[in-house]
Structure 1
Amino acid sequence: MGLTSTTVLALAVLCTVLLTILVVWLWPRLAAQSWRPILGRVGLLCAVQLLLFSSVGLAANNTFLFYGSWADLFGQQEGVGVLDAKSAGSPGVKLIGKQKVDVPGAGKPSIGGEVQKIAVQGERSRIVSPAYVYLPPEYFQKGYEKKSFPAMVVLTGFPGTAENLLKGLKYPKTAWTLAKQKKTQPMILVMMRPTVAPPRNTQCIDIPGGPQTETFFAKDLPQAISGTYRVGTKARNWAFIGDSTGGYCALKIALEHPEAYAAGVGLSADYKPDVDMDSGDLFHGNRHEQNRSDLLWSLDHLPQGNSSFLVTTSQQGESNLKETQKFIAKVKKPAHVSSITLDSGGHNFNTWLREIPPSLEWLSKRLTAA
């Protein structure tokens, strides 16, 4: 049974309740002061606490999807295999499965669209990572067979799984609804987590002697997707959006690669990478790359391209308010910046669910089909 299975959660809760009843029933028998009854009481209390914390942890994980599997939880990389270009249909992409979108008419792709799970192998970075691709209904409709669509890369934070973007943050459903309401154009979403070399938090940086994550997102991913789906290869065909660590990646890639992405949206974004036990040594003494990874430094010291940025924060509940204000102040022409500042909102799904619809509308106005 999978980590996010409701059966696993139900069993954990049931075991907690049964063991609690057992403790109440056995407690009088363990009231003696000799070492065996004392050891029994301690053991039962520890067992109840362990099951209780497991139930709470499973419930929280099912809600926020921090980890998608047991292997993910214990830091064991789940390889997706080496891709066979001949069987994949195009170099770098392999179709793994398909699923419906949680919208009316989900049974027919021409009405509800479709989500495809794929594996992407970077030609330059050699990174292999799973992704979910949302294809809008128009992609399957008669008369659109030769039409291209704009695309955006969507990243969750760290730790987190790509399933967050489908279930928790509801990106496909939101994109479908906004297009249905004529508030956005139909767009393709490429949904991933920033941790493309799990369990390491590489934060979209090309690590010397390690994963070339920036290269993967800036070059390999657009090339692989454009070679498989009807998406253009120009910057105006591509955008990047993410939350937290994913928001840092979105701003970093759009800032440093205006030739690849026309726009970047950072929801509650970080503005420089966290170097800790999850990331390991990201720079290996390369001072220029360390400075360049600081987005505020980059805005001051590197040329700014014709990119558009949208950053979000809140007056209360977010720790990035001052850094966001600094980012806004440092963006200069030909780049452009917009912002959303909520009165209150924490670093969580509820806040991002309020910010995603206007962000997608903002992005739609800045993208064109090929």
Structure 2
Amino acid sequence: MGLTSNKVLMLAVVVAVLLFVGTVWLWPRLARQNWRAVSGRVALLLATQLTLFASLGIAANQAFGFYASWADLFGRETDQGVVVDHSANGGAGGPLQVVSTAQVQGVGGSGPRMTGQVQKVDIVGRTTHIATPAYVYLPPEYFQPQYRTRTFPAAVVLTGYPGTAQALVDKLHYPRTAQELAKNGRMQPMILVMLRPTVAPPRDTECVDVPGGPQTETFFAKDLPDAVLAHYRVGRKPGSWGIVGDSTGGYCALKLAMHHPNVYAAGAGLSPYYKAPIDPTTGDLFRGDRNLRNHSDLWWYLKHQPAPDTSLLVSSSRIGEANYKDTLRFIDQVQATNRTRIASIILGSGGHNFNTWRREIPATLQWMSGRLSDR
């Protein structure tokens, strides 16, 4: 049974309940003051609390999509190696291969011409050799005869860390939201490329070209757009691509739009931070390279580099988000450049979670749509 399976959650809950009942039932028998009785009480309490915490952890994982499998949880994913080998063999299907397709859930109608389509894909970077799974949302218009020669704008959508790409589809509802907004005329039809920034799991690379390690920034700035352009009808001119993400993905989105405005005409960070952290999940990202460290610090970049010709969106909450004051300061610093454009979504309250981001995504997609060209 998989980590995200409802059966696993139900099993954990049932075991926790049984242990609780068993503890109440057996407690009188274990009331004696000998080592066996004391050990029994300790064992029952410990087992009950462990299963309770396991139940809560599994439920939280299902709600927020932190880990996709047991291997992902324990940092023992093995599927990436297979895809890297495929790249080394030349990739007969190109740098992007479709694994499966599914209808967009939660919208009326049937068939891709009515609902659009979500394709699960494998992407392999031709220059970085980074391999990662992703989901691609194609709007209904992509399949309609009258649009057969049309290209579409595209937005890369990133999760936080660790996150799962599937959560962008199932929990944050990006495809459903994009389909509904376009249907109601509130945004133009767009292709969404949804993945997590953790392209070298379990390491959190913070979208940095790590010296001697994963070249993550190059993957998102060059390899990913090239792979998508080779497979789908996406606009090729500057201004056709945007990028959006939450938390770690929000930091990556802002950084990539600022570093590569010729690729990403707009970048939206939902609950972002503005400087790459160094902690046990990242390891040593910069290997003593002060220039690389500085360029990954968005405060430093705005102060010391020419202002990029791009549009940025940031979000926060007055109550519930730790980045509120930093976000206000970032807005002021961007405004002072007189070239980079900045917009914001500031909620009255909202924590660092899916519910908050679901409240921000419709307005974010509308904003993104208004800044991208389909040519």
TM-score range, shorter chain: over 0.9
- Contact 1:65 1:161 (8 Å CA) reproduced: yes
Mapping of residues 210-359 of structure 1, within 5 Å: 210-331=213-334, 332-359=337-364
- Distance (Å, rounded) in 2 between the aligned partners of 1:29 and 1:278: 46
Give 1:305 shift: 2.4
- Distance (Å, rounded) in 2 between the aligned partners of 1:333 and 1:239: 21
- Distance (Å, rounded) in 2 between the aligned partners of 1:125 and 1:85: 12
Q: Is 1:162 paired with 2:165?
A: yes
Give 1:235 shift: 2.6
- Contact 1:263 1:366 (8 Å CA) reproduced: yes
Which residue is equivalent to 2:10? 10
Q: Is 1:94 paired with 2:90?
A: no
* CA shift digits 1:56-112 (9 cap, x unpaired): 111111111111110111011342423359996652111111122113345311111
* CA shift digits 1:247-268 (9 cap, x unpaired): 0000000000011110000111
Question: CA RMSD for the aligned pairs?
Answer: 1.5
- Contact 2:87 2:124 (8 Å CA) reproduced: no
- Distance (Å, rounded) in 1 between the aligned partners of 2:225 and 2:64: 28
- Distance (Å, rounded) in 2 between the aligned partners of 1:342 and 1:323: 15
Q: Secondary structure at the match of 1:83?
A: helix
- Distance (Å, rounded) in 1 between the aligned partners of 2:110 and 2:211: 46
- Distance (Å, rounded) in 1 between the aligned partners of 2:139 and 2:78: 29
Structure 2 counterpart of 1:364, one-letter code? S
TM-score normalised according to structure 1 size:
0.97
Give 1:7 shift: 0.6
- Distance (Å, rounded) in 2 between the aligned partners of 1:233 and 1:196: 24
- Contact 1:90 1:228 (8 Å CA) reproduced: no
Which residue is equivalent to 2:71? 71
- Distance (Å, rounded) in 2 between the aligned partners of 1:103 and 1:342: 26
- Distance (Å, rounded) in 2 between the aligned partners of 1:202 and 1:243: 15
Q: Secondary structure at the match of 1:24?
A: helix
Aligned with 1:172 (options 170, 175, 184): 175
Aligned with 1:361 (options 360, 363, 366): 366
Q: 1:115 to 1:85 in 2, by over 3 A?
A: farther
Give 1:334 shift: 2.8
Q: Secondary structure at the match of 2:239?
A: helix
Which residue is equivalent to 2:24? 24
Structure 2: segments with no counterpart, 5+ residues: none
Q: Secondary structure at the match of 1:143?
A: helix
Q: Secondary structure at the match of 1:235?
A: coil
* CA shift digits 1:215-244 (9 cap, x unpaired): 000111000001001112223110000011
Structure 1 counterpart of 2:338, one-letter code? K
Q: Secondary structure at the match of 2:343?
A: strand
- Contact 1:124 1:220 (8 Å CA) reproduced: yes
Q: Which moved more, 1:161-170 or 1:100-109?
A: 100-109
Identity of aligned residues (%): 55
What is the number of equivalent residue pairs in this alignment? Answer: 370
Structure 2 counterpart of 1:350, one-letter code? N
- Distance (Å, rounded) in 1 between the aligned partners of 2:109 and 2:328: 41
Structure 1: segments with no counterpart, 5+ residues: none
- Distance (Å, rounded) in 2 between the aligned partners of 1:4 and 1:107: 27
* CA shift digits 1:5-36 (9 cap, x unpaired): 00100111111111222222222221211111
- Contact 1:134 1:188 (8 Å CA) reproduced: yes
